[in-house]
Amino acid sequence: MARERTDPQTEELWQEFHASVNMTGEELRRWLLTDASGPDRFGSEPSMGVSDIGRRVVAVLDKRRVDLTGEDVETMRTVVERVGELLATPVERRDDAWRHRLMTLGHDPLQPDPRGAEDDPGAGGEGPQ
């Protein structure tokens, strides 16, 4: 059986997305269902009241690379950019609201950075200080 492939740019974006998103689809679903996620949480009806980007990140996390749509690719691009911007926030400005914005994108800054501190100091894995 032939192996299904995606184009090289989408492959690279897929890798960047999964390096930026360190929560599983289930972890993100649970986060969006909590009151702690604020206005981005699910309401009484799951399709109502949840952040659009959070819902789209969950959808991408639930897919195989070869099943991506154009909207999924745009979602991955947006998430990579936003997570990068938020992680560039100076340490003294990192607070609960900062962490909540990241978590809505699927990145929990309190989870250890699997790349290790030597690869990107100050980028991931550091919580508010």
Instruction: Give me the pLDDT at residue 120, please.
Output: 42
39 found inside a domain = yes
Give residue 117's identity as a one-letter amino acid code.
Answer: A
Question: What is the per-residue pLDDT for 37?
Answer: 54
114 belongs to a structural domain: no
Q: Is residue 70 part of a domain?
A: yes
- Residue 112 counted as domain residue: no
Domain housing 63: 8-104
Cβ(115)–Cβ(20) below 8 Å: no
Q: Please state the length of the chain.
A: 129
- Contacting residues for 87 by C-beta, under 8 A, at least 6 apart: 102, 107, 109, 122, 123, 124
Rounded to two decimals, the pTM is 0.75
Q: How far apart are CA 77 and CA 81, in angstroms?
A: 6
pLDDT at res. 119: 42
* Per-residue DSSP letter, 63: S
Residue 122 within any structural domain of the chain: no
Q: How many domains does the chain have?
A: 1
Rounded Cα–Cα distance for residues 40 and 56 (Å): 13
Q: Is residue 121 part of a domain?
A: no
Tens digits of pLDDT across the chain (129 residues): 444 667 899 999 999 999 999 999 999 999 988 855 555 544 445 554 568 899 999 999 999 999 999 999 999 999 999 999 999 999 999 999 999 999 999 999 999 865 554 444 344 344 333
Q: Specify if 21 maps to a domain.
A: yes
> Does 120 reside within a domain?
no
